[in-house]
Amino acid sequence: LDWLAVEFMQKGWNYKHMVRLIVSSGAYQQKSVGLSDSRSVFGLMPRMRLPAEQIRDQFLSASDLLDDRIGGPSVFPLQPEGFYEERGQNTAGNSNFTWKVSGPEDRYRKSMYVYWKRMALHPSFAAFDAPTRQVCVAKRTVSNTPQQALVTLNDPMFDECSRALAENLSVYGKGKINEGLDHAFMECLGRIPNNEERIKFQALVKNDGWYSVCVVLLNLDEALTRE
């Protein structure tokens, strides 16, 4: 910590430099999986499920759909049909608001640009504990419910990501399944599969195709958790 303090001063109090330095360090990137519970100095970081916005961005990035442009107006990604009507958000006296899905040029932008309607935020964000903005929240709650798995499996936005990734993997034919699995694991989990996983996923590709592989990988705890 003393060294970091000196580095901070010598670099002219440059916050961007310090953030880049810390997140690129071996200590920060050390996984908690498989390490001792004794938590020795710099040994591990607590596991934490990604926030709602980062989960959406993770899916978009893995499927190569993420649009990382900076700036611009709010966007309206896919959401379950009829959600706003069910919540009464389209009724008179409630601004007659309708959710008009953005075109392909905008709907894949980062989650920080998603339109946020108070009390009726995007349902996938609500499922993963994003605040409604009715009141100020100093710290988000983190829940673990069956509905969250149903969201990432069935929400049209997440399903679109799974299908897009499957399309990217379709170039890997029968003789290139292992290459395709390496690609899929790297995109979703940041690593290549071990031997046991490779055998199981080879069978899944042959029996059910790449779409099923993508659905499984993107819904693994490892894909939704900061290890």
Rounded Cα distance between 184 and 204, Å, is 13
Of 25, 46, 67, the position where a domain reaches its end is: 46
Q: What gap in Å lies between CA 21 and CA 8, rounded to an integer? A: 10
Give per-residue pLDDT as tens, 108-164.
Answer: 999 999 888 777 788 888 888 888 878 888 888 888 888 899 988 988 889 999 999
Q: Total domain count for the chain?
A: 2
Lowest pLDDT segment from 42-46, 50-54, 78-82, 176-180? 42-46
Q: Does the predicted TM-score (pTM) go above 0.85?
A: no
220-227 mean pLDDT: 84
Domain membership of residue 106 (yes or no) is: no
The reply to whether 203 falls in a domain is yes
What's the pLDDT score for residue 32? 60
Domain span including residue 29: 2-46
Q: Would you state the pLDDT for residue 64?
A: 92
Q: What is the pLDDT of residue 83?
A: 72
Amino acid at 30: Q
Q: Tell me, yes or no, whether 132 lies in a domain.
A: no
pLDDT of res. 225:
85
Last residue of a domain, one of 46, 62, 78: 46
Instruction: Return the closest-CA partner of residue 66 out of 137, 165, 154.
Output: 165
Give the per-residue pLDDT at 124.
Answer: 86
pLDDT digits (tens, 9 = 90+) for 53-103: 999 999 999 999 999 899 989 888 888 777 766 666 555 555 566 778 888
Residue 134 lies in a domain: no
Residue 127 lies in a domain: no
Q: What is the DSSP letter of 176?
A: G
Give the pLDDT score at 12.
94
The answer, yes or no, to whether residue 45 has pLDDT greater than 70, is: no
Cβ atoms within 10 A of the Cβ of 35, count? 12
Alpha-carbon distances of 188 from 32, 37, 95, 223, rounded to whole Å: 18, 26, 40, 6
Which span out of 70-79, 94-103, 206-215, 217-226 was modeled with the highest average pLDDT? 206-215
Distant-in-sequence, close-in-space partners of 53: CB < 8 Å, separation ≥ 6: 110, 111, 112, 114, 125, 130
Measure the CA–CA gap between 131 and 157, rounded to whole angstroms: 20
Average pLDDT, rounded, for the chain = 84
143 domain residue, yes or no: no
* 124 occurs within a structural domain: no
Question: Is 193 among the domain residues?
Answer: yes
- Specify burial of residue 114 (Cβ count, 10 A radius: 0-12, 13-18, 19+): buried
